[in-house]
Chains A and B, each alone.
Chain A
Amino acid sequence: MNIVIRKDQWINLAIIASALWFIWFASTHFDEYTVRILNNIAIFTILAVSYNLINGVTGQFSLEPNGFVAIGAYVTALLLLDADAKDYQFDIESPYPWVLGLQANFVWALFFAGTFSSLLALTLSFPVFRVRGDYLAIVTLGFGFIIRILAINNPEITNGSLGLNDIPEFSNLYWTGGIAILAVWGILNIVNSKYGRAMKAVRDDEDAAIAMGVNTFKIKTFAFCTSAFLEGVGGGLLAALLTSISPDLFTFFFTFQLLIIIVLGGLGSTTGAVIGTVLVIGGAEWMRFLDEPMNFGLFVTPAMPGMRMVVFSLILIFVMLFAREGIMGKRELKDLFKKGKK
């Protein structure tokens, strides 16, 4: 396979190279806490850019990520845990024999996680895309909900609410960061192709897109399955990072968090989604000091645990009030430089 490299691709290559260098540097020089935050950022970047593809670029107001992330996480966890570990862990009911038999290495596990998610997305797209707008939102919200309930109620496969523990910790910054770079690159490639254009056309005016010969159902399904694939992979990385998963991780708060990220970053902007991830995930960590007692010099406020979330929600409201299209709007980082030149 020979990949043609164009002039403007050199810039991209340079960006990718510096990102890779950063990953190496961070892995070797930063403390574990920082590395873990970076890992979270990398995984949420994958999730945010892929969620942005269906929600921002294609304009289908879907609230599904928690469902696919959960599926990816469970598939990966079940493939990575050996039969012995599973047998030991399953406490509510004993596992089905086939569950014990599942086994794969990390790469295959992630691949299966993604594939399984996207196959499910394919099946789902037939009913889901019959409805539009807010109805789509509630159907997909329901899907995520159902997945979680299934995880709780099928202890023979998922170990119920106990979740799966002791998942081998394969994820590290090379994996998460590397896949994040791939994901951003791949998604930008989609966006800058006829498929991406068609997705945007569906978002702007579905009827007009049809009138241009676009098979809008196919385009929506592509976007949905691609999102689901990466969400599955992201879920797998998350499982192998946390080493422990359980159904309560995948509530709709998980989806809301992603939604906040992509809207803050600028709905429809892939680079905006990356920026949004850094701000929300990094920012939430940074704001931890709000939970602690504060010393204002003159007086010391008592610790107000939970204050962080209050401030977080206020910031969220203010950002939306003053930057209603999010930080990047629908532009990409590249467009900003273009404007600057003019």
Chain B
Amino acid sequence: MILELKGVTKKFGGVTAINNTTFTVNSKEIYGLIGPNGAGKTTMFNIITGNYQATDGEVVFRSEKLNGLKPHTIVRKGIARTFQNIRLFKTMSVMDNVLIGFDFQANYTYFESIFRFPRFFGEEKRIRKRAIEILDYFGIAEFAEHKATDLSYGQQRKVEIARALATNPAMLLLDEPAAGMNPAETKELAHLIRTAREDFDLTVLLIEHDMKFVNQLCDKVLVLDYGKTIFEGKPSDAIKDKEVVAAYLGDFAHD
């Protein structure tokens, strides 16, 4: 067990986006978070990453309580994320985008960078090497010096995931990674996530509406419906679950 949410509730004004939700994610699991639009999935991510504070309940990561921590501290504890709409640093190169992920791992001070101390060069060399390795892993090393936003959509997704991996996370949160991709591209992405889990020793928590993708990829899914849990278990069982079909899948799922 790596992440545990205990009775998490989030209210916006009068609206309850998440209502007393509890679930646990095990180490190296690919865990899917699905549910109708507005069910509170992204909100859940934001609570885990510290962007929102839960109105009630606890978030425990590797037996440490995350409530109240700043988002950048939570990243350093090993939770990285991507966004529902790609959010790369648009004026920066692919390489620099990934290097930002190494920001807190490069060990030199501000002063050392101004006056170019030896440690600066050593550390820069080290993180650049690692960055290239990651880019290489995703097959985008050749674009290292391109502006990130000049890349195709699929490649930008990869940069975003690479950037998240650069923070050396134990857990990766992906918000609709396959959105805007066609089925062929989606398939490639699923493959990539699966291998990355092994190679980077990751636990993955993802949100996705593409059921085919979820089915292929996830070990377990949690179905949220306007704040409450309606199903937790294998994706293949979720498809058959009456309540899930009624609330989320509709007839469309049978394709």
Q: Are A and B direct contacts in the complex by CB distance below 8 Å?
A: yes
Which of B80, B104, B118 is in CB contact (< 8 Å) with A211?
B80
B7 interface contact, C-beta 8 A? no
Q: Which residues in A have their C-beta under 8 angstroms from that of B116?
A: 3-4, 189
Do A208 and B88 form a contact, CB below 8 Å, given A189-B116, A213-B104, A214-B104?
yes
* Beta-carbon contact of B89 and A210 below 8 Å: no
* Residue ID in chain A nearest B102 by CB atoms: A194
* Residue ID in chain B nearest A200 by CB atoms: B92
Interface residues of B in 23-39 (CB under 8 A from A): none
Interface residues of B in 133-179 (CB under 8 A from A): 163-164, 166-167
Q: Which residues in B have their C-beta under 8 angstroms from that of A208?
A: 83, 87-89
A237 interface contact, C-beta 8 A? no
| Given A3-B118, A193-B120, A211-B81, 13 extra CB contacts under 8 A | A1-B117, A189-B116, A194-B102, A194-B103, A194-B113, A195-B113, A200-B96, A201-B89, A201-B92, A205-B88, A211-B71, A211-B83, A212-B75
The CB with the most chain A CB atoms within 10 A, among B51, B80, B92, B124, is that of B92
Which of B76, B88, B89, B118 is in CB contact (< 8 Å) with A213?
B76
Complex Cα–Cα for A6 and B121 (A): 9
Which of A189, A203, A211, A214 is in CB contact (< 8 Å) with B114?
A189
Do A193 and B124 form a contact, CB below 8 Å, given A213-B103, A214-B72?
yes
Majority DSSP secondary structure for residues of A touching B: helix
* Beta-carbon contact of B103 and A197 below 8 Å: yes
* Residue ID in chain B nearest A330 by CB atoms: B91
Q: Which residues in A have their C-beta under 8 angstroms from that of B103?
A: 194, 197-198, 201, 212-214
Interface of B toward A, CB cutoff 8 Å = 49, 51, 70-72, 75-76, 80-81, 83, 87-92, 96, 99-104, 106, 108, 110, 113-118, 120-121, 124, 127, 163-164, 166-167
Least distance between B61 CB and chain A CB atoms (Å): 15
Do A207 and B118 form a contact, CB below 8 Å, given A200-B96, A213-B72, A214-B103?
no
* Beta-carbon contact of B75 and A213 below 8 Å: yes
22 pairs, A vs B, C-beta closer than 8 Å: A4-B116, A4-B121, A189-B113, A189-B114, A190-B114, A193-B113, A194-B106, A194-B124, A195-B110, A197-B96, A197-B99, A201-B103, A204-B88, A205-B87, A205-B88, A207-B51, A208-B87, A209-B89, A211-B81, A213-B76, A214-B104, A216-B72
Interface of A toward B, CB cutoff 8 Å = 1-4, 6, 186, 189-190, 193-198, 200-201, 203-205, 207-216, 222, 268, 330
Complex Cα–Cα for A4 and B167 (A): 28
Least distance between A99 CB and chain B CB atoms (Å): 32
* Residue ID in chain A nearest B71 by CB atoms: A210
* Beta-carbon contact of B91 and A203 below 8 Å: yes
Complex Cα–Cα for A213 and B116 (A): 24
Which of A190, A212, A268 is in CB contact (< 8 Å) with B100?
A212
* Beta-carbon contact of B100 and A207 below 8 Å: no
Q: Which residues in A have their C-beta under 8 angstroms from that of B164?
A: 211-212
* Beta-carbon contact of B92 and A197 below 8 Å: yes
Do A212 and B163 form a contact, CB below 8 Å, given A4-B121, A193-B120, A195-B110?
yes
Q: Which residues in A have their C-beta under 8 angstroms from that of B51?
A: 207, 210
Q: Which residues in B have their C-beta under 8 angstroms from that of A6?
A: 121
Do A211 and B115 form a contact, CB below 8 Å, given A197-B96, A203-B91?
no
* Beta-carbon contact of B72 and A204 below 8 Å: no
* Beta-carbon contact of B114 and A186 below 8 Å: yes
* Beta-carbon contact of B91 and A212 below 8 Å: no
Least distance between B137 CB and chain A CB atoms (Å): 18
* Beta-carbon contact of A215 and B72 below 8 Å: yes
Least distance between B83 CB and chain A CB atoms (Å): 7
Which of B49, B71, B75, B100 is in CB contact (< 8 Å) with A197?
B100
Q: Which residues in B have their C-beta under 8 angstroms from that of A216?
A: 72
* Residue ID in chain A nearest B95 by CB atoms: A197
